[in-house]
Amino acid sequence: MSSQTIKIPTIQETNLKLGQQKLYRGKVRDVYTFEDYLLMIASDRISAFDIVLPKPIPYKGQVLNQIAAKTLALTADIVPNWLLSSPHPNVSFGVKCNPFKVEMVIRGYLVGSSFRKYKEGARVICGVPIPDGMKENEAFSSPIITPTTKADEGHDLDISKEEIISSGLVSREDYLILEKYTYDLFKFGSEEANRHGLILVDTKYEFGKDNNGKILLIDEIHTPDSSRFFYLEGYEERQQKGEKQKQLSKEFVREWLMEQGFMGEPGQEVPQMSDTFIETVTARYIELFEKMTGETFEPCPAPDLFEDIRVKALTILAKFEVE
């Protein structure tokens, strides 16, 4: 990455006039809501510990959106999804759904927050028993689902399958469908990752219902923001030696923040990322895109990124006769 990377146009936020009913700004995406449809613009914002960091990451939105769009197309025969079109590298357009208030987190390995809890003595995570004697980054005998609540603001909270059903967040009938979809998607993602020399360590899926009550996969899938990947080559050797695993994900940003003493606690000041570190983050995102897709990443060449997004957004809205 050259230092010129930092000078390219980045998307911190958008404020387009598309005739939308409302505009919701999430941690990463700007969501334009219409009567029956959503148009999402993937910004270059990056979040950690549920906090949006001050500086955007060049190309990040394009990487996230394109990985998600390609993977949603590949998994449409496994799980129906919300996406109808991706008219621009930063833009996705699809069916408006009523989202379930849970995120289906699935883990194939003991890592990240699950390992931190395990290290503190926890042997049950989200109602799932974890055996003694496991090491960091060790594979579970089979993937486990550790759901969280889907908070509109603040931190998502761990919750068990039984708590989800008993509280009425999701009916038992619907949860069993979400559970099956989650295992099926993770199986596909794991096989695809292996095929490209990676290990899908853990990820999350979000689901909703369309106007006809059909359950659809929504939001992103198998991106570096929603998933963690290890390199397949050398995994066993590093594990045997007790070395850190080489990974492609957003986790290294969280690790960098923790090294600076930041964990998103009240009163903590967010560390400033240097241009050099931002270049490193961009390079990681692009590398994962190329590893996962087998394609060369080609940034959007438009001289005016915002105008190009606006025109492409209006074109797809007109195509679907969205008013």
Report residue 273 as tokens.
Answer: 């990322």
What is the per-residue DSSP string for 190-211? HHHHHHTTEEEEEEEEEEEE-T
Phi-psi region of 99 (alpha: psi -120 to 50; beta: other; left: phi over 0): beta
Query: Where are the extended beta strands (E) located within 222-275?
Result: 227-231, 247-249
- Neighbouring CB atoms inside 10 A of 323's CB total 7
Please give the distance of CA 296 from its chain centroid, rounded to a whole number: 21
What is the phi/psi pair of residue 21, to 5°?
-75, -35
Domain limits for position 302: 3-98+249-319
**Alpha carbon distance 282, 229 (integer Å):** 16
Q: Which one-letter amino acid corresponds to residue 207?
A: F
Query: Where are the extended beta strands (E) located within 89-213?
Result: 91-95, 98-99, 102-109, 124-125, 128-129, 139-145, 148-149, 198-209
Summarize the confidence of residues 30-47 as an average pLDDT: 96
Domain count, the chain: 1
pTM summary value: 0.91
In a domain? residue 160:
no
Which pLDDT belongs to residue 8?
75
Report residue 121 as tokens.
Answer: 């003595």
Which pLDDT belongs to residue 153?
58
In a domain? residue 59:
yes
CB 44 within 8 A of CB 10: yes
Q: What is the pLDDT of residues 250-262, one digit of tens each?
A: 888 988 999 999 9
**Alpha carbon distance 188, 154 (integer Å):** 31
Pairing of β 102-109 and β 37-42: unpaired
In a domain? residue 17:
yes
**Mean model confidence pLDDT for the chain:** 93
In a domain? residue 15:
yes
In a domain? residue 223:
no
**Residue 269 belongs to domain with CATH number:** 3.30.200.20
Report residue 246 as tokens.
Answer: 């080489």
**Alpha carbon distance 184, 108 (integer Å):** 13
Q: What is the pLDDT of residues 194-230, one digit of tens each?
A: 999 999 999 999 999 999 999 999 999 999 889 999 9
In a domain? residue 297:
yes
In a domain? residue 200:
no
In a domain? residue 137:
no
